[in-house]
């Protein structure tokens, strides 16, 4: 008897190995997936401006990055304590205007350079509800805990979402004609709006994504949302807040992504790499112990062997760590 409905994910023509540059842009779900890829030593760019939940902010960010349009002092505001920008996460805020601008513009340049050669860009949409700054009318990625009176909220239409996504895709294509784009809808729920409103928002995103996939040959869809809603469909796969996913659920989605996109070499070596990384994450307390020194020497040999077997795999950080331990 089957207790779940498995979501079948077709094998993609996209092939990812350790020489592939990958970008993850969008909601916090995109960041969680990016960190799993990063842990396994894939070359990744993760949300250059910080978390981006809605399609309008996503399009706005990719336009700036594609054109390498740097930020000006007039696009930053001071709240009495720090300088902020509505387009960026609070990590880019600073006590001085100079530092704030420097951090943001470095992010623009870094993303522009990375996306020029990125083979695959994963874009995760979180919500179709957008915050707009009343005075300027522009969409806001981050409210920086400013007064709610400064903003208004709006559920954008399917048509608006399609327009934003089409523009975002074209910006990426102009920057990198060879890029492949994978769209997905975050399974994380936005419960502040209510369950029904959350479903309307997700439906808006799904309908828009469906149209975009039909319009562009280099764009495809990965069913993260369906995997959680239809296959896992149980609160035990959520974190304690009942909004974010548990690590088990995220690991499961990562495995599904691997089955769809990983090159055969990755599939063959990933279990060995995972075993090595788990052992490398053990904290070495006493390097005077002969057993621990032997462990460190063995770890170095394992890392170098894996590097020799797999093109593009870089374990220099782990090798350096164990070599430093041996010198103590």
214/220 Cα distance (integer angstroms): 9
Q: What is the pLDDT of residues 282-297, one digit of tens each?
A: 776 666 677 788 888 8
Residue 287 is predicted with a pLDDT of 62
298 phi and psi angles, rounded to 5 deg: -65, -35
One-letter-per-residue 3-state SS of 106-172: HHHHHHHHHHHHCCEEEEEECCCEEEEECCCCCEECCCCCCCHHHEEEEECCHHHHHHHHHHHHHHH
- The residue to which tokens 């860009």 are assigned: 121
3-state helix, strand and coil shares in percent for the chain, rounded to the nearest 5 = 55, 15, 35
What stretch of H or E contains 43? Answer: strand 43-46
CATH code: domain 21-262 is 3.40.50.1110
- The residue to which tokens 């709240």 are assigned: 79
Assess contact for 92 and 85: CB atoms under 8 A.
yes
Residue 176 is predicted with a pLDDT of 97
In 3D space, the residue among 168, 137, 170, 172 whose CA is nearest the CA of residue 152 turns out to be 137
Q: Which residues, at least 6 apart from 98, have a Cβ–Cβ distance to it below 8 Å?
A: none
What 3-state DSSP class applies to 84? strand
Q: Which residues, at least 6 apart from 184, have a Cβ–Cβ distance to it below 8 Å?
A: 122, 123, 124, 125, 221, 222, 223, 224, 225
109/132 Cα distance (integer angstroms): 26
Residue 328 is predicted with a pLDDT of 66
Residue 235 is predicted with a pLDDT of 82
**What is the full per-residue pLDDT of the chain (328 aa) written as tens digits?**
677 788 989 899 999 999 999 999 999 999 999 999 999 999 999 999 999 999 999 999 999 999 999 999 999 999 999 999 999 999 999 999 999 999 999 999 999 999 999 999 999 999 999 999 999 999 999 999 999 999 999 999 999 999 999 999 999 999 999 999 999 999 998 888 788 999 999 999 999 999 999 999 999 999 999 999 989 888 888 888 888 888 999 999 999 999 999 999 999 999 999 999 998 887 766 666 777 888 888 999 999 999 999 999 999 999 998 888 777 6
Angle 82-52-178 from CA coordinates, rounded to 5°: 125
Angle 137-139-144 from CA coordinates, rounded to 5°: 105
Domain residue ranges of the chain, discontinuous segments joined by +: 21-262, 265-328
> Distance of alpha carbon 14 from its chain centroid, rounded?
18
pTM above 0.85, yes or no: yes
35/259 Cα distance (integer angstroms): 18
Give me the DSSP letters along 4-21: S-----PPPS--B-TT-E
Return the axis-axis angle of helices 247-261 and 28-39, rounded to nearest 10°: 70
């Amino acid at each position: 008897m089957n207790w779940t409905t498995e979501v079948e994910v077709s094998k993609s023509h996209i092939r990812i190995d350790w020489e592939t540059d990958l970008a993850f842009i969008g909601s916090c779900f995109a960041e969680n997936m990016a960190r799993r890829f990063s842990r396994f030593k894939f070359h990744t760019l993760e949300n250059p401006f910080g978390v981006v939940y809605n399609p309008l902010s996503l399009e706005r960010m990719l336009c700036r990055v594609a054109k390498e349009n740097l930020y000006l002092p007039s696009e930053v505001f001071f709240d009495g304590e720090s300088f902020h920008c509505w387009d960026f996460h609070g990590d880019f805020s600073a006590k001085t205007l100079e530092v704030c601008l420097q951090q943001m513009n470095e992010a623009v340049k870094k993303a522009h350079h990375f996306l020029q050669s990125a083979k695959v860009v994963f874009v995760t949409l979180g919500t179709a509800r957008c915050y707009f700054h009343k005075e300027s009318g522009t969409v806001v990625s981050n409210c920086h805990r400013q007064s709610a009176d400064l903003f208004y909220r709006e559920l954008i239409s399917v048509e608006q979402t399609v327009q934003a996504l089409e523009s975002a895709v074209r910006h990426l294509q102009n920057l990198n004609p060879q890029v492949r784009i994978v769209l997905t809808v975050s399974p994380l729920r936005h419960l502040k709006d209510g369950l029904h409103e959350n479903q309307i928002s997700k439906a808006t995103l799904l309908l828009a994504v469906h149209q975009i996939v039909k319009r562009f040959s280099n764009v495809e869809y990965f069913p993260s949302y369906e995997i959680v809603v239809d296959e896992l469909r149980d609160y035990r796969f959520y974190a304690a807040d009942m909004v974010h996913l548990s690590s088990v659920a995220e690991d499961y989605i990562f495995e599904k992504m691997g089955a769809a996109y990983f090159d055969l070499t990755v599939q063959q070596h990933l279990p060995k790499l995972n075993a090595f990384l788990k052992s490398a994450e053990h904290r070495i307390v006493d390097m005077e112990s002969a057993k621990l020194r032997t462990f460190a020497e063995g770890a170095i040999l394992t890392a170098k062997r894996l590097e020799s077997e797999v093109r593009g795999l870089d374990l220099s950080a782990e090798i350096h760590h164990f070599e430093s331990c041996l010198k103590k």
